[in-house]
Amino acid sequence: MSGARALWQRVPAPVIDLALVAAAALDVRLNDWEPTRLEFALVAVGCTALAFRRRFPLAVFLLTLPVALMQDVAVAVLAALFTLAERSRDRRLLAVCVALAAVASSTPWPLAEVDRTMTLVFFVYGLATAAAPVLFGQLFQAQRDLARRLTEIEEAREHERTLHAQAVLARERAQLAREMHDVVSHQVSLIAVRAGALQVAARDVDAKEAARTIRSLSVTTLDELRTMVTLLRASGGNATELTPQPTLADLRKLVESSGTHVQLTGDLPPTVSTPTQRALYRTVQEALTNVRKHAPGATASVELWQDGESIGVTVTNTPPTRPSLSLPGSQQGLVGLRERADILHGTLDAGPTTEGGYRVRLRIPLNAD
């Protein structure tokens, strides 16, 4: 059944329409009658109009009604009714068209003395005959709607399955990111710190160079690891793009979007290494976040400075002008900043000022990498 339907759908629509016009004309010709010129013209118009039944189904049906006057069962009228029922959802219009077709087929032609009993019989017969193509047309319309609805349901299910798979993948990658951050990142940080301490304490040149290499590789690995963790946590869509790591060039944008009145001063040489730039940026970011959370209404100043062979940043805020909300804090932000400072052989000092504000100061050797 499906194969025959598929084969039928491959036939071009103009071919089907021409074949239907020919069948309607042959149907009229097989009825042995001698038409007048008017009758022949009406029949020719009705049969030819079937070629346009897809675009103007109601008009084509009305043009085929004269054919129903001249014969009891007309292929042209049945085809026009089927097309109208297939394309229309107006049940009242279809009922009126069925009645018109029954009246036309039961009306004697040429007009003569009317036998009421036979006319009523022919009318009932015409109703049943005209109702059949309408029912088939409505059935075909319902089948088409059902197929379209099933396609929509299948597409919705496929989309739901895709979303579920993405959610599962996102949970797995988030769990992997937590494991990498909690275990691997901590261990690599310890390696970098110990290697830095060994580099300072070692007297042998080869040992000092080996420690420096280990610390440098650990710093690079830690940065790459943090980038991977960020990538894993941001996953869940069809495509995940890696956000560029911030540098000193992004500080002004950070200050402007901090939600706090901040004054940025100072400048640093362009030769500052990438890990140092990230450490300075993250320090300012964490300090401004704490100002916004714990010192509402306070103003802040961010000062980039260079002191001999050291560079750094100092973030100072004034006392709050409004009561601060009691927000939970894990103090992990400052711990992470101190880890970054230790890896780069720097120091991080944080504490309250005598004026009631708070100061965060990061110092890093200029040649730190």
Within its chain, how far is the Cα of 74 from the centroid?
53
Tens digit of each residue's pLDDT (9 = 90 or more) over 322-362 = 776 544 444 567 777 888 888 888 999 999 999 989 999 99
**How many angstroms separate the CA atoms of 362 and 302, rounded?**
11
Query: What is residue 239's predicted lDDT score, i.e. its pLDDT?
Result: 43
Query: What is residue 113's predicted lDDT score, i.e. its pLDDT?
Result: 55
With a CB cutoff of 8 Å and minimum separation 6, the contacts of 181 are 226, 229
In the chain, which residues have pLDDT < 50?
A: 1, 236-242, 326-330
Query: What is residue 185's predicted lDDT score, i.e. its pLDDT?
Result: 66
**How many angstroms separate the CA atoms of 28 and 44, rounded?**
10
Query: What is residue 241's predicted lDDT score, i.e. its pLDDT?
Result: 44
Query: What is residue 89's predicted lDDT score, i.e. its pLDDT?
Result: 86
CB 346 within 8 A of CB 362: yes
The conformation of residue 182, written as its DSSP 8-state character, comes to: I
Q: Is the dihedral of CA 35, 41, 44, 45 positive or negative?
A: negative
Tens digit of each residue's pLDDT (9 = 90 or more) over 191-205 = 777 777 787 788 888
In the chain the first and final C-alpha atoms are separated, in Å, by 74
Query: What is residue 274's predicted lDDT score, i.e. its pLDDT?
Result: 83
**How many angstroms separate the CA atoms of 213 and 207, rounded?**
10
Q: Residue length, the chain?
A: 369
Pairing assessment for the beta strands 262-265 and 358-365 based on DSSP bridges:
unpaired
Query: What is residue 61's predicted lDDT score, i.e. its pLDDT?
Result: 87
The arrangement of strands across the sheet holding 358-365 comes to: 262-265, 300-307, 310-317, 358-365, 347-352
H/E run at residue 361: strand 358-365
Task: Return the residue matching tokens 């209404």.
Answer: 297
Query: What is residue 348's predicted lDDT score, i.e. its pLDDT?
Result: 92
